[in-house]
Amino acid sequence: MDRYASLFRELSRTCPDLELRAEEPMSRHTTFRIGGPVRLMALPKTEEEARKAVHTALQHDIRPFYMGNGSDLLVSDQGYEGFILKAVDGLNTLECRDNVITAGSGVLLSRLSSFAMDKSLTGLEFAHGIPGSVGGAVTMNAGAYDGDMKAVVRSVRCLTPQGEEETVAGEALDFGYRRSAFQNEERLILSAELVLRPGDGGDIKALMDDFGNRRRHKQPLDLPSAGSVFKRPAGYFAAALIDECKLKGLTVGGAQVSKKHAGFIVNLGGATCSDVLTLADQVRETVLRETGVALELEVRTLGV
């Protein structure tokens, strides 16, 4: 019996309520709708289930990969020979005290921002249309429209690589452009504490609606994608550079540089991981040759 079969058997015995899936297609769990099967996936509903899954995996000498909503993840067509712990749908508690919200790592940003609006708290309007979870947003310091997680997150509870609970706060969060102290993905985020400001519910809703309308007008929300494929290079905008090079509509297999927003690569139907990466390489090579600017992938890859 190999390690993964042994892990499946042990978790089934000691944590019978934990949802486990073997050979689960990752195309079901990424917004790109791309990816082959993962050897084993756990979908904990509670922090206790998550702790048990992590501890048991470590006992089997297996390092879990932690994921949220899969909105910035591109998985190999061959899949991933590993163990994934997915927090979305579980770890989804939300609490509010005064102007502080404590959110489980599996809470979707759309739900979190609406919760803040209902409490007349401002500061999370930018997050309303981002299709990620709290854990993923903290990991990547997600942001839009001049707002980001760095501006609102005060502390994060997580499990260390050894499976022990710790709280990370202040400068130790190491937030930067699309990065944080959790970038190496060796710690499972359990929850985050966010400090917001009192505001007017009507004004908050109006701003969220405005951001939503802008997204619908500018972004190809009707096709599977992982949002912006490239990070913003210093002094430039990736989409503007790609547009300048007349790459909108460039297609490889089922993957295409969006005709609506040059910063997006979309899945026209049946796109593979290889299609996306080949297309991204062509874009980077062309932009570097014609503008001298090197683009860096923002989307994360797994099993590649």
Residue 301: HSE in the Cβ half-sphere, 13 Å Cα cutoff: 15
Phi, psi dihedrals of residue 31, rounded to the nearest 5°: -70, -15
**Which of 298, 45, 288, 22 shows the shortest CA–CA distance to 177?**
298
Catalytic residue among 27, 180, 225, 228: 228
- Which residue carries 């993962």 as its tokens? 38
Q: Measure the CA–CA gap between 157 and 134, rounded to whole angstroms.
A: 12
Q: Measure the CA–CA gap between 224 and 124, rounded to whole angstroms.
A: 24
Contact 92, 106 (CB under 8 A): yes
- Which residue carries 């899954």 as its tokens? 53
Tokens representing residue 43 in the block? 């979908």
Is 178 a known active-site residue? Answer: yes
**Alpha helical stretches, state H, the chain:** 3-14, 47-59, 109-118, 134-140, 201-218, 238-244, 273-291
Q: Measure the CA–CA gap between 174 and 170, rounded to whole angstroms.
A: 8
Is 298 a known active-site residue? Answer: yes
Tell me how far CA of residue 181 lies from CA of 18, 52, 88, 187, 298, in angstroms: 28, 24, 21, 9, 16
Q: Measure the CA–CA gap between 173 and 120, rounded to whole angstroms.
A: 26
Amino acid at 303: G
Tell me how far CA of residue 230 lies from CA of 99, 280, 287, 299, in angstroms: 34, 9, 12, 7
Contact 79, 37 (CB under 8 A): yes
Catalytic residue among 178, 187, 284, 300: 178
The DSSP letter of residue 176 is: B
Q: Measure the CA–CA gap between 239 and 244, rounded to whole angstroms.
A: 8
Catalytic residue among 24, 47, 125, 298: 298
Catalytic positions? 178, 228, 298
